[in-house]
């Protein structure tokens, strides 16, 4: 299956019955898949007039308690930020997918990881965070999507899947796993007040006390997510002198370079953050005890490197290698590792 289709099928398996979107390359196959499948499943596929309308349809859709989603790419995700801020404050579960491309501006449709800051810092106005999952292949496009809906319901928060454009188009075999059915309390949903008091979904807090209380409540929830949900994959890190950090498909490419470097006698390893937020800082704190150098490889001009530096807190030098418009290939990363090892005398 194509990555975008695996993601869409994952959403259907997870019980998503509302898709609200606007066409944009390289995410459009998700909308097209949902347009074909959802009507036959009693679901709603709705092509919105704009990205703004699409995210507000997600706001409305998730307020009914049903599982809903949208998918877009950089310029569209920028337009959606207003709505995402409202959804985060209203504590509505939903999935937002960014099949990301190069920016800034209209940028280009080449795969990119340049929306890392936007995704991991909230993105819109106010104090909030999104849980951000970064799959590295078509199978994970499906599996993480299924999991994203559960995380969204568990914490009543929007979850983002961030996948560089290549992951949307990659064609790989998929094993479909049926998730265990979980039920969540959705007594907050607006469905008509028959037999109960009216429910209100609102993000306006005119009183200073209530505004602060709401922000403290959200902050406590984000703290809990940080405690429970940090995830990373490690590869050959135990004895490593140099650790490469990469996420998404980039991490799979780096794995090859790490193996090549090992063949040449360099003790290289890989840490692949799976949750971009919460950032898996413990993995880095641990690595900082033994490792001599960290190299962040990103398809941007250096964004995740800031989180790595915060995590190691000056204990280890952190260097950067990145490109945009191109995805670095295994040979050029291996070359970087050889250059660094020679310079440092590893």
Partner 1 sequence: MKTVFKKPESLTDAKFHYCPGCTHGIVHRLMAECMDELNIRESTIGICPVGCSVLAYDYFNCDMLEAAHGRAPAIAAAIKRLMPDRTLFTYQGDGDLASIGMGEIVHASVRGEKITVIFINNTVYGMTGGQMAPTTLLGQVTTTSPYGRSKDNEGYPAKMAELLAQNEGSAYICRTAVNNPSNVIKTKKAIKKALQTQIKGVGFSMVEVLSTCPTNWGLSPLDSMKWLEDNMIPYYPLGELKVKEDK
Cα gap 48→54, rounded to integer Å: 5
Binding to partner 1 in span 38-67, by CB under 8 A:
44, 46, 48-50, 52-54, 56-61, 63-64, 66
Q: Which of 202, 207, 208, 227 binds partner 1 (CB under 8 A)?
A: 202
Shortest distance in whole angstroms from residue 183 CB to partner 1:
19
Q: Which of 40, 178, 193, 227 binds partner 1 (CB under 8 A)?
A: 193
Q: Which is nearer to partner 1, 50 or 329 (CB)?
A: 50
Of the candidates 22, 91, 21, the residue with the CA atom closest to the CA atom of residue 62: 91
Residue 191 sits in the site that holds partner 1 (CB under 8 A): yes
Contacts of 268 (CB under 8 A, 6+ apart): 236, 240, 241, 242, 243, 244, 257, 258, 261, 262, 337
Q: Could you tell me the two tokens for 126?
A: 């106010």
Q: Which is nearer to partner 1, 156 or 286 (CB)?
A: 156
Of the candidates 151, 111, 117, 203, the residue with the CA atom closest to the CA atom of residue 14: 151
Kindly indicate which of the ranges 113-121, 194-202, 231-239, 327-335 contains the residues binding partner 1, using the contact rule CB under 8 A: 194-202
Q: Which is nearer to partner 1, 36 or 125 (CB)?
A: 125
Residue 156 sits in the site that holds partner 1 (CB under 8 A): no
Q: Could you tell me the two tokens for 35?
A: 């347009």
CA atoms within 13 A on the CB side of 342: 7
Shortest distance in whole angstroms from residue 57 CB to partner 1:
4
Shortest distance in whole angstroms from residue 223 CB to partner 1:
27
Q: Which is nearer to partner 1, 46 or 320 (CB)?
A: 46
Contacts of 253 (CB under 8 A, 6+ apart): 246, 327, 328, 329, 330, 333
Instruction: Fill in the per-residue mask, 274 to 313: x = in contact with partner 1 (CB under 8 A), - = not in contact.
Output: ----------------------------------------
Nearest 5°: the CA angle 63, 199, 226 is 55
Residue 345 sits in the site that holds partner 1 (CB under 8 A): no
Q: Where are the alpha helices (DSSP H) in 230-329?
A: 249-263, 281-287, 304-312
Instruction: Fill in the per-residue mask, 1 to 30: x = in contact with partner 1 (CB under 8 A), - = not in contact.
Output: ----------------xx-x----------
> Distances from the Cα of 36 to the Cαs of 32, 144, 167, in angstroms?
6, 22, 21
Shortest distance in whole angstroms from residue 95 CB to partner 1:
15
Contacts of 278 (CB under 8 A, 6+ apart): 129, 131, 222, 225, 226, 229, 230
Q: Which is nearer to partner 1, 71 or 167 (CB)?
A: 71
Cα gap 346→163, rounded to integer Å: 34
- Using a 10 angstrom Cβ sphere, with 0-12 exposed, 13-18 middle and 19 or more buried, the burial of residue 60 is middle
Q: Which is nearer to partner 1, 175 or 204 (CB)?
A: 204
Q: Could you tell me the two tokens for 103?
A: 């920016």
Of the candidates 79, 64, 69, the residue with the CA atom closest to the CA atom of residue 38: 69
Instruction: Fill in the per-residue mask, 74 to 93: x = in contact with partner 1 (CB under 8 A), - = not in contact.
Output: --------xx--x-------
Shortest distance in whole angstroms from residue 189 CB to partner 1:
9
Q: For tokens 């990205």, what's the residue? A: 51
Contact set with partner 1 (CB under 8 A): 17-18, 20, 44, 46, 48-50, 52-54, 56-61, 63-64, 66, 68, 82-83, 86, 190-195, 198-204
């Amino acid at each position: 299956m194509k990555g975008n289709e695996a993601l869409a099928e994952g959403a259907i398996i997870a019980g998503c019955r509302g898709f609200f979107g606007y066409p944009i390359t390289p995410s459009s196959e998700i909308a097209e898949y949902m347009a074909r499948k959802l009507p036959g499943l009693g679901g709603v596929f709705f092509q919105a007039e704009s990205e703004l309308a699409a995210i507000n349809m997600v706001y409305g859709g998730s307020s009914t308690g049903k599982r809903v989603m949208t998918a877009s790419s950089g310029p569209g995700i920028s337009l959606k930020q207003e709505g995402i801020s409202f959804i985060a404050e209203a504590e509505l579960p939903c999935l937002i997918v960014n099949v990301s491309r190069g920016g800034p501006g209209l940028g280009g449709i080449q795969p990119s990881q340049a929306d890392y800051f936007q995704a991991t810092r909230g993105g819109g106005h106010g104090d909030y965070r999104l849980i951000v999952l970064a799959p590295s292949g078509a199978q994970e496009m499906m599996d993480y999507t299924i999991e994203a809906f559960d995380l969204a319901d568990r914490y009543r928060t929007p979850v983002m899947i961030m996948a560089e454009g290549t992951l949307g188009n990659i064609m790989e075999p998929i094993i479909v796993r049926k998730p265990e059915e979980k039920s969540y309390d959705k007594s907050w949903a607006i469905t008509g007040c028959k037999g109960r008091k009216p429910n209100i979904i609102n993000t306006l807090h005119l009183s200073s006390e209530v505004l602060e209380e709401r922000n403290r409540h959200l902050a406590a929830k984000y703290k809990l997510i940080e405690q429970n949900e940090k995830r990373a994959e490690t590869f050959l890190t135990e004895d490593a002198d140099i650790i490469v950090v990469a996420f998404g498909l980039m991490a799979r490419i780096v794995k090859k370079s790490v193996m090549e470097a090992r063949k040449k006698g360099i003790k290289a390893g890989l840490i692949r953050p799976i949750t971009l937020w919460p950032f898996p800082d413990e993995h880095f704190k641990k690595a900082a005890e033994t490792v001599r150098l960290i190299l962040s490889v990103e398809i941007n001009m250096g964004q995740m490197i800031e989180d790595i530096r915060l995590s190691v807190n000056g204990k280890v030098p952190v260097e950067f290698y990145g490109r945009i418009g191109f995805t670095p290939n295994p040979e050029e990363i291996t070359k970087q590792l050889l250059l660094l090892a020679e310079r440092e005398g590893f």
